[in-house]
Amino acid sequence: MPTYKAPVRDFQFLLFDVLDIEQHKALPGFEEASRELISAILDEAAKFSEEVLQPLNAVGDEQGCRLENGVVTTPDGFRQAYQTLVENGWPALTADPNYGGQGLPNTLSQVFNEMVSSANMAFGMYPGLSHGAYSALLHHGSDVLKETYLPKLVSGEWTGTMNLTEPHCGTDLGLMRTKAVPQPDGAYQISGQKIFISAGEHDLAENIVHLVLARIEGAPEGIKGVSLFVVPKFLVNSDGTLGARNGVSCGALEKKMGIHGNATCVLNYDGATGYLVGEEHKGMRAMFTMMNEARLGVGLQGLSQSEVAYQNALAYATERLQGRALTGPKQPSKPADPLIVHPDIRRMLLNLKSFNEGARALLLWTALKGDLSHKSPDEKIREESDDLMSLLTPVVKGHLTDRGFALAVEAQQVYGGHGYIDEWGMGQFVRDARIAMIYEGANGVQALDLVGRKLAQNGGRAVFAFLAELATFIETQKNDEDLAPLVKALEVSRADLEAATMWFMENALSNFDHAGAGSTDYMHLFGLVAIGYMWGLMGQAAKSRLKDGAPDAEFFKTKLATGRYYAERVLPETGLHLTRIRAGADMMMSFEVEAF
Amino acid sequence: MPTYKAPVRDFQFLLFDVLDIEQHKALPGFEEASRELISAILDEAAKFSEEVLQPLNAVGDEQGCRLENGVVTTPDGFRQAYQTLVENGWPALTADPNYGGQGLPNTLSQVFNEMVSSANMAFGMYPGLSHGAYSALLHHGSDVLKETYLPKLVSGEWTGTMNLTEPHCGTDLGLMRTKAVPQPDGAYQISGQKIFISAGEHDLAENIVHLVLARIEGAPEGIKGVSLFVVPKFLVNSDGTLGARNGVSCGALEKKMGIHGNATCVLNYDGATGYLVGEEHKGMRAMFTMMNEARLGVGLQGLSQSEVAYQNALAYATERLQGRALTGPKQPSKPADPLIVHPDIRRMLLNLKSFNEGARALLLWTALKGDLSHKSPDEKIREESDDLMSLLTPVVKGHLTDRGFALAVEAQQVYGGHGYIDEWGMGQFVRDARIAMIYEGANGVQALDLVGRKLAQNGGRAVFAFLAELATFIETQKNDEDLAPLVKALEVSRADLEAATMWFMENALSNFDHAGAGSTDYMHLFGLVAIGYMWGLMGQAAKSRLKDGAPDAEFFKTKLATGRYYAERVLPETGLHLTRIRAGADMMMSFEVEAF
């Protein structure tokens, strides 16, 4: 059976040495986030993930959820674990103190979420979706809605969902058919069918707060006629107690490839009472608040499965004795050497390690930009941070989930035949990771968001700022002896990113298909460069700690070595992406549909 | 539910136009293989796969196999389908006429196997493994063994298995513990436990012929003390009728990620009667006969899942209306355009199409080398063909299964959320394809076989012959206007392959770790170039047919266009592999185990 150990040491390094989170202690929320408190949170989160959630991961996969008479039962142990989550106050960690939250920086949520997701991704989706519902209501709900729903979402007593997809309408939400009919009391009657609703029905909490996109009768056609509603599973009385069951029910549970422990529901709305969130016909704006945040959380899921898969593959590679080193026996007294003597095994493990640590840095770096975009008193910093967070959100979602999945597959490969057998648990990591490439906007849609929207915003202000930040870093660090191999590779890859960006600017405006044809390559090119930059920042921090004579020198030296591995073996891929981008759309668009 | 249509037209093109199989009609077996017969076989194979096997694919996945009181029951419909397979004489297609076979070229087996595997990979493994057992006995068994077992394997009345793996011993067969104790009558008593035995026990046939590796008491240690035995499930009386049940039983069925319809067994040998195949302690030699052939068959499985996944993704992309083309509505009268208007969707589909058709060509080209290596009267052709087949076998196995899997994932991605739902069947293709990267020697082992054994054999004779053949092709075709874009890309990639080969020759002899560190990259570099060459041959054949004014001109023009897509978007990857190979082993070997 697989195991999981939260990478606490690595989180400490990132938060304290690389991001120096304490430098922001003047900001609201950050003043509380002392080194001591953060360390205590890391330890408690690790304990909860390792001891409570991880043991339920295989159980959840095997049992899945059950639907009987409209009631969904989660796998054995999930209720108890959710209870513990609530008792420990985790849902409140970064929530608004006005509604019972602890008000800590959102960056810390990412730390907690990665641990939870590595330990039990299907479980982690229940509180994860609540947080999305919380955000949409916080930013767009009326005071009454906020007072009614937020305290319960923050405490975790209630959970939340996002309802977008319908059978004929996924990415293209303009095709939506779910109807909202205004009622005399200001509420709406919601009718229609939503599918793929994660955590749509379950037995973990006493109420579920559905955020639902629907079309108000007579609304404009398409995406501009879509509004957002909150539809509780149980209506809420004015004194806050639960009232009648609302007209929403779970029609079926989807049978799916993975995340079996999470209930993926068909939800039928049958004249259910709903309340408008934000303005009429402006539902997409409110929904994007949820989605942007959720996209970072999904990128994190890719990393989370790659991390736990790595940990287990590493253990297997050091324990499994099979064959001999190519250069002669390394452990001649034993019947065979451990797998890890083989360069090809090390290649796979180092691909995983260098990605995981770099992706973790990128996630926290991006999340911190998010915090600064809200909390900095300096308007310029708020703007710059928001630019970078918006730019990098699709990159984090798309690159981290595509890579996280591919690397979970690579970790599974380390096991040989045993990797394919359920008992070893590697298949679950692969199957669970697979969904992250799809939901919250399939990765092709992320790539289009990046090249079609984010690049061009404000005349490319965000991407040019990012390129400039990298150029400065490269210029100041390229003569550093230890960092030079990485920085030189980063210089080449940064130039590839710049060239690709310019190519789009020059070609895609006259033919949008050129942007579409290169979008996925661009997203990965961007992700590679961004993680390369993170290795630069980590290398810098590691050097500085080594210079200070910090204990645990091997930890910092390994950071430098892992960064060099990334530079040597992974970063060179950027050139291939640039070549493909420059090939443009003509060839692929020239095929008649019948010729496929 | 997914569907499957056998690519009969493409097989005709490859067999008749590209490989011109009729040119070999003087050779034994080929004289029968007229265009008419082959066309009839293609049609019948298509019908069997599409109508009998494909409808059982999802059933097999859902039901899996059951073990009760030592008896394994296959999924509903498998028995009947196997009966039909036997009645139609498919197992005899390319088998030796001395034992009831039709004696057709083995190349035709690959055609049949691809269809079967696309339609139902788990089912296809039952006859597939029989063929491996047949080959080992044919080439290494005594006359008595051949007369006893071959006719029944050829008719399909009995099936076969390969027993190598034990719990502590996978790739490193020298660690094997299963014992063989000589008996006074010349037979042996076999005792031990084998795991991961595909088709190890089932209800499809009245007897199962296990080929088992074991160590004769007192044998030398390691791989040089391993012998091969045939151990029937039921002993065979001298008159050919079935006798007593032998001491081999199924202890458990593995629960696994995919190929649920195939029984993956733990087999316990408890003093079972076995008969030596070939010489004492030379079991590996005989086993390699089975394994080499099986490796092509596994490469084919990678392609087979990519092919069926492509067909379904293409149908979805043309039917699913969602969003609008980037350049403006393509079907303004409909609520949305089909997915296939999007360049990023076309990118995925063309990655699939250009791989599938190229990989199919490579498989048949390699299989034909195999036929020529056995059947040509010209010793030089036999040697050259054997060289190329040996060289390309690990490439076909490793490259086609890694890519086939990755592309099945890409096809799944075309479906968005629906790709993750069991009902659409895409997850099964991905899960089934996954095993092909692992069994029959994990792909890392294939890569090592390529760089550690095949490259150096006879002073690199095979690889230099391959490079020379490509150089000649490039030289003669580079000025052809239609082929030039492909040929020029191939020239660059061929140079990458040559450079990588020379790098190994210069560096890996002094440090084998350099070979190990670059082995997987080299395998893929080789696969890319080999498929690029196939696109060259296909382009040449298509041009020639167009020049002849053949009907169906669009088919041939599409071949040229698909080859150009491969050249433009896929072949450039070779440069990345070369860069990684040249990075060598130093970085990855410098990590202490504790530093991972």
- Residue A179 and residue A88 in one domain: no
pLDDT of B245 over the 80 cut: yes
- Residue recorded with tokens 């302690």: B281
Q: Which residues of A are catalytic?
A: 440
- Residue recorded with tokens 């008491």: B217
Could you give the CA distance from residue B57 to residue B1 in angstroms, rounded to a whole number? 10
Burial class (CB in 10 A: 0-12, 13-18, 19+), B155: middle
Q: State the average pLDDT for chain B.
A: 97
Could you give the CA distance from residue B385 to residue B391 in angstroms, rounded to a whole number? 10
Over residues A314-354, the pLDDT tens digits come to: 999 999 999 999 999 999 999 999 999 999 999 999 999 99
Q: What is the pLDDT of residue A293?
A: 80
Q: What angle do CA A13, A19, A25 make, to 5 degrees?
A: 110
Distance of residue A240 Cα from the nearest chain B Cα, in angstroms: 36
**B416/A442 touch (CB, cutoff 8 Å), yes or no:** yes
**B580/A572 touch (CB, cutoff 8 Å), yes or no:** yes
CATH of the domain at B268: 2.40.110.20
Query: Distance from first CA to last CA of chain A, Å, rounded?
Result: 44
**A427/B515 touch (CB, cutoff 8 Å), yes or no:** no
Determine the residue of chain B that is closest to A406 in CA distance.
B406
Could you give the CA distance from residue A301 to residue A110 in angstroms, rounded to a whole number? 10
Q: Which residues of B are catalytic?
A: 440
Q: Say if CB B569 and CB B350 are below 8 A apart.
A: yes
Across the interface, of A256, A427, A520, the residue whose CB is closest to B344 is A520
Residues of B in contact with A353 (CB under 8 A): 596
Could you give the CA distance from residue B17 to residue B29 in angstroms, rounded to a whole number? 19
- pLDDT band at residue A413 under the 50/70/90 scheme: very high
Across the interface, of A421, A511, A569, the residue whose CB is closest to B256 is A421
Could you give the CA distance from residue A174 to residue B563 in angstroms, rounded to a whole number? 38
3-state SS assignment for residue B475: helix
Q: What is the pLDDT of residue A7?
A: 98
- pLDDT band at residue A178 under the 50/70/90 scheme: very high
Picking from B163, B198, B346, B437 by the largest number of A CB atoms within 10 A of its own CB, the best residue to mutate is: B346
Determine the residue of chain A that is closest to B553 in CA distance.
A595
* Residue B429 maps to a domain: no
Over residues B87-120, the pLDDT tens digits come to: 999 999 999 999 999 999 999 999 999 999 999 9
Over residues B140-158, the pLDDT tens digits come to: 999 999 999 999 999 999 9
pLDDT of A379 over the 90 cut: yes
**B405/A406 touch (CB, cutoff 8 Å), yes or no:** no
pLDDT of B424 over the 80 cut: yes
Q: Say if CB B491 and CB B567 are below 8 A apart.
A: no
Residues of A in contact with B335 (CB under 8 A): 175
- Residue B164 and residue B99 in one domain: no
Q: What is the ipTM of this complex?
A: 0.97
Proportion of chain B in helix, strand, coil states, percent, rounded to 5: 60, 15, 25
- pLDDT band at residue A388 under the 50/70/90 scheme: very high
Which residues does A384 contact at the CB level (< 8 Å), separation at least 6?
A465
Residue range(s) defining the domain that contains residue B74: 8-140
Determine the residue of chain A that is closest to B446 in CA distance.
A344
- Residue B97 and residue B130 in one domain: yes
Determine the residue of chain A that is closest to B197 in CA distance.
A417
* Residue A429 maps to a domain: no
Picking from A420, A428, A528 by the largest number of B CB atoms within 10 A of its own CB, the best residue to mutate is: A420
**B561/A587 touch (CB, cutoff 8 Å), yes or no:** yes
Residues of B in contact with A335 (CB under 8 A): 175
**B442/A565 touch (CB, cutoff 8 Å), yes or no:** no
- Residue B52 and residue B122 in one domain: yes
Query: Distance from first CA to last CA of chain B, Å, rounded?
Result: 44
Residues of B in contact with A590 (CB under 8 A): 561
* Residue B12 maps to a domain: yes
**A255/B573 touch (CB, cutoff 8 Å), yes or no:** no
- pLDDT band at residue B297 under the 50/70/90 scheme: very high
3-state SS assignment for residue A406: helix
For chain B, the domain total comes to: 3
- Residue B191 and residue B88 in one domain: no
Picking from A196, A344, A492 by the largest number of B CB atoms within 10 A of its own CB, the best residue to mutate is: A344
Last residue of a domain, one of B70, B105, B140: B140
Distance of residue B574 Cα from the nearest chain A Cα, in angstroms: 9
pLDDT of A287 over the 90 cut: no
- Residue B263 and residue B175 in one domain: yes
Q: Which ranges of B141-276 would DSSP assign to H, the alpha helix? A: 143-155
Last residue of a domain, one of A214, A246, A281: A281
CATH of the domain at B95: 1.10.540.10
Q: What angle do CA B436, B439, B441 make, to 5 degrees?
A: 115
Residues above pLDDT 90, as percent of chain A: 96
Distance of residue A2 Cα from the nearest chain B Cα, in angstroms: 15
Distance of residue A184 Cα from the nearest chain B Cα, in angstroms: 33
Identify which of A89, A112, A95, A97 has the alpha carbon closest to the alpha carbon of residue A38: A112
**B561/A585 touch (CB, cutoff 8 Å), yes or no:** no
Determine the residue of chain B that is closest to A253 in CA distance.
B421
Could you give the CA distance from residue B545 to residue A551 in angstroms, rounded to a whole number? 73
Residues above pLDDT 90, as percent of chain B: 96
**B417/A196 touch (CB, cutoff 8 Å), yes or no:** yes
Distance of residue B75 Cα from the nearest chain A Cα, in angstroms: 19
**A172/B406 touch (CB, cutoff 8 Å), yes or no:** no
- Residue B70 and residue B188 in one domain: no
Q: Say if CB A225 and CB A216 are below 8 A apart.
A: yes
Last residue of a domain, one of B221, B251, B281: B281
Q: How many CB pairs under 8 A join A and B?
A: 243
pLDDT of A93 over the 80 cut: yes
* Residue A361 maps to a domain: no
Residues of A in contact with B568 (CB under 8 A): 583, 587
**A590/B561 touch (CB, cutoff 8 Å), yes or no:** yes
pLDDT of B39 over the 90 cut: yes
- Residue B108 and residue B219 in one domain: no
Could you give the CA distance from residue A560 to residue A568 in angstroms, rounded to a whole number? 12
pLDDT of A289 over the 80 cut: no
Determine the residue of chain B that is closest to A568 in CA distance.
B583
- Residue B45 and residue B120 in one domain: yes
Q: What is the pLDDT of residue B430?
A: 98
- Residue B29 and residue B120 in one domain: yes
Determine the residue of chain A that is closest to B254 in CA distance.
A421
Q: What is the pLDDT of residue A511?
A: 95
* Residue A508 maps to a domain: yes
3-state SS assignment for residue A354: helix
- Residue recorded with tokens 């699913």: B320
Q: Two tokens at B178?
A: 């299963």
Over residues A537-561, the pLDDT tens digits come to: 999 999 999 999 999 999 999 999 9
Residues above pLDDT 70, as percent of chain A: 100
Over residues B441-500, the pLDDT tens digits come to: 999 999 999 999 999 999 999 999 999 999 999 999 999 999 999 999 999 999 999 999
Determine the residue of chain B that is closest to A439 in CA distance.
B417
Distance of residue B344 Cα from the nearest chain A Cα, in angstroms: 5
Over residues A442-473, the pLDDT tens digits come to: 999 999 999 999 999 999 999 999 999 999 99
* Residue A323 maps to a domain: no
Q: Two tokens at A492?
A: 């080449």
**B583/A561 touch (CB, cutoff 8 Å), yes or no:** no
Residues of B in contact with A322 (CB under 8 A): 169-172, 175
Q: What are phi and psi of A274, to 5 degrees?
A: -135, 160
Distance of residue A384 Cα from the nearest chain B Cα, in angstroms: 29
pLDDT of B290 over the 80 cut: no
pLDDT of B289 over the 80 cut: no
Residues of A in contact with B165 (CB under 8 A): 417
- Residue A86 and residue A189 in one domain: no
Could you give the CA distance from residue A471 to residue A466 in angstroms, rounded to a whole number? 9
Task: Report the range of poorest mean pLDDT among A282-286, B180-184, B195-199.
Answer: A282-286
pLDDT of A115 over the 90 cut: yes
* Residue A393 maps to a domain: no
**B344/A444 touch (CB, cutoff 8 Å), yes or no:** yes
Could you give the CA distance from residue B261 to residue B263 in angstroms, rounded to a whole number? 6
Identify which of B326, B505, B312 has the alpha carbon closest to the alpha carbon of residue B413: B312
As a whole number, mean pLDDT of residues B379-400 equals 97
Could you give the CA distance from residue B541 to residue B564 in angstroms, rounded to a whole number? 15
Q: What is the pLDDT of residue B293?
A: 80
Burial class (CB in 10 A: 0-12, 13-18, 19+), B571: buried
Could you give the CA distance from residue B163 to residue B140 in angstroms, rounded to a whole number? 16
Distance of residue B41 Cα from the nearest chain A Cα, in angstroms: 25
Q: Say if CB A214 and CB A178 are below 8 A apart.
A: yes
Residues of A in contact with B170 (CB under 8 A): 322, 416-418
* Residue A442 maps to a domain: no
pLDDT of A241 over the 80 cut: yes
- Residue A30 and residue A131 in one domain: yes
**B413/A254 touch (CB, cutoff 8 Å), yes or no:** no
Q: State the average pLDDT for chain A.
A: 97
**A564/B587 touch (CB, cutoff 8 Å), yes or no:** yes
Q: Say how many CA atoms lie within 13 Å of B172 toward its Cβ.
A: 17
Residues of A in contact with B353 (CB under 8 A): 596
